[in-house]
């Protein structure tokens, strides 16, 4: 068997595996260049749309950083006129600020629910609605059963889900893994901004983005900044690939 043929067959087999794992036809869903710098980490070099992504936030500052990062990703997901739903316990997202991430704040529908169970129910319903672009839900924690439910909802509708967990333990490779059915797990922490042209004051928003888990991809950590309307690699810290974690799902 010739070498080229072999590669082709292997590629087809890989695609088959991805399809079986719920990641449908990835080639069609290139979401633009927002995550260009870290694309290599994703399966097929494409950010998985139509999947549930989990974000572990620590404290209000971490939540704010995660909000910024999600807004940056959302920008390239939202095509013209796309509508997203943001489900929170209390209205702390400041709609005016989203405009600076190139998101039309009036195309986001906020749903304020006090009960964690209600948030789950609403997320489930929203993720099944094909006319939405993305659903963002803020929970304190999520268990395997619920995350599986969300993932199943998403696989039919191809809506992208973002779950922000305020009270989840950050799993490490040694400790006991927090097992969920999500496609990826992230932590975003703020990093001191870099001076722009030696001007005083604050620079562009900058985060340490850790991809703790990605199904069929390679986890990693990067320092990203939101500059001139796009996400880009920033800072001297070289992109590093985290030690391969135990694969889940």
Partner 1 sequence: MGPRFVSIWFRHLKTDWFALRHQATRDQPFVLRTSVHGKMVVTVANAAARRVGIVEGISLADARAVLPLLHVLDDQPDLTEKLLRRLGEWCIRFTPHVAVNPPDGLLLDATGCAHLWGGDQRYVEVIARRLRERGYDVGAAMSDTIGASWAVARYCAGDTVVQTDSHHKILFQLPVEALRLEVETVVRLRKLGLITIGQVASVDRSYLRRRFGEVLNRQIDYALGVEQEPIEPLQPVEPYSERLPCIDPVVTATGIGLALDTLLEKVCIRLQQEQKGLRTAMFRSYRVDGRVQELKVATNRPTHSVAHLRKLFDPMLSSIEPDLGLELFVLEAQGIENKIPTQEKLWHHNGGLENVGLSELLDRLAGRFGSGSIKRFLPDEHYWPERSFRPAASLSEVASTSWRTDKLRPVRLLNEPVRIEVTAPIPDYPPMLFRYKSQVHNIVNADGPERIEAEWWQQDGKHRDYYRVEDEEGRRYWIFRLGHYNDKTYQWFLHGFFA
In angstroms, what is the minimal distance from the CB of 52 to partner 1?
18
For residues 156 and 183, is the Cβ–Cβ distance under 8 A? no
Helix, coil or strand: residue 87: strand
Residues comprising the chain, all counted = 249
What residues contact residue 186 under an 8 Å CB cut-off, 6+ apart?
A: 53, 54, 55, 56, 66, 69, 209, 210, 211, 212
To 10 degrees, the CA torsion angle through 111, 115, 121, 123? 40
Among 37, 38, 67, 219, binds partner 1 (CB under 8 A): 67
Q: Rule CB under 8 A: say whether 221 interacts with partner 1.
A: no
Among 37, 68, 161, 219, binds partner 1 (CB under 8 A): 68
Q: For residue 29, which of 14, 49, 15 has the smallest C-alpha distance?
A: 49
Angle at 215 between CA 213 and CA 221, to 5 degrees: 35
Number of residues near partner 1 (by CB under 8 A): 58
Among 12, 100, 156, 167, binds partner 1 (CB under 8 A): 100
Among 7, 8, 40, 92, binds partner 1 (CB under 8 A): 92
Site for partner 1 in 107-166 (CB under 8 A): 107-113, 118, 121-122, 125-126, 129-133
> Which H or E run contains 82?
none
Among 7, 8, 40, 94, binds partner 1 (CB under 8 A): 94
Q: Nearer to partner 1 by C-beta: 93 or 154?
A: 93
Q: Is 214 left (phi over 0), alpha (psi -120 to 50) or beta?
A: beta
Among 99, 143, 156, 237, binds partner 1 (CB under 8 A): 99
Q: What is the DSSP string of 25-59?
A: -GGG----STTGGGGGGSGGGS---SSEEEEE--H
Contact mark string toward partner 1, 164..203, x via CB under 8 A: -------------------------xxxxx------xxxx
Among 42, 47, 55, 69, binds partner 1 (CB under 8 A): 69
Interface contacts to partner 1, rule CB under 8 A: 60-61, 63-65, 67-69, 71, 79, 81-83, 85, 90-100, 104-113, 118, 121-122, 125-126, 129-133, 189-193, 200-203, 205-207, 226
């Amino acid at each position: 068997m010739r070498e080229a043929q072999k590669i082709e067959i292997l590629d087809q087999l890989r695609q088959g595996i991805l399809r079986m794992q719920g990641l449908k036809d990835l080639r069609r869903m290139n979401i633009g260049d927002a995550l260009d710098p870290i694309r290599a980490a994703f399966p097929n070099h494409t950010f998985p749309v139509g999947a549930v992504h989990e974000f572990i936030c620590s404290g209000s500052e971490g939540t704010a950083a995660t909000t910024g990062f999600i807004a940056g990703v959302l920008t390239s997901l939202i095509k013209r006129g796309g509508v997203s739903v943001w489900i929170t316990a209390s209205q702390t997202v400041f709609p005016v600020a989203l405009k600076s991430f190139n998101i039309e704040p009036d195309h986001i529908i906020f749903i304020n629910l006090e009960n964690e169970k209600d948030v789950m129910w609403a997320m489930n319903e929203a993720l099944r609605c094909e006319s939405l672009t993305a659903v963002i839900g803020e929970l304190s924690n999520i268990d395997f059963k619920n995350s599986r439910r969300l993932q199943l909802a998403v696989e039919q509708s191809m809506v992208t889900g973002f779950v922000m967990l305020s009270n989840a333990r950050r799993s490490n490779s040694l400790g006991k893994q927090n097992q969920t059915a999500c496609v990826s797990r992230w932590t975003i922490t703020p990093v001191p901004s870099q001076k722009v042209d030696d001007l005083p004051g604050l620079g562009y928003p900058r985060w340490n983005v850790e991809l703790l888990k990605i199904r069929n991809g390679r986890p990693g950590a990067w320092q990203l900044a939101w500059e001139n309307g796009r996400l880009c690699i920033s800072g001297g810290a070289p992109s590093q690939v985290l030690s391969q974690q135990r694969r889940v799902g």
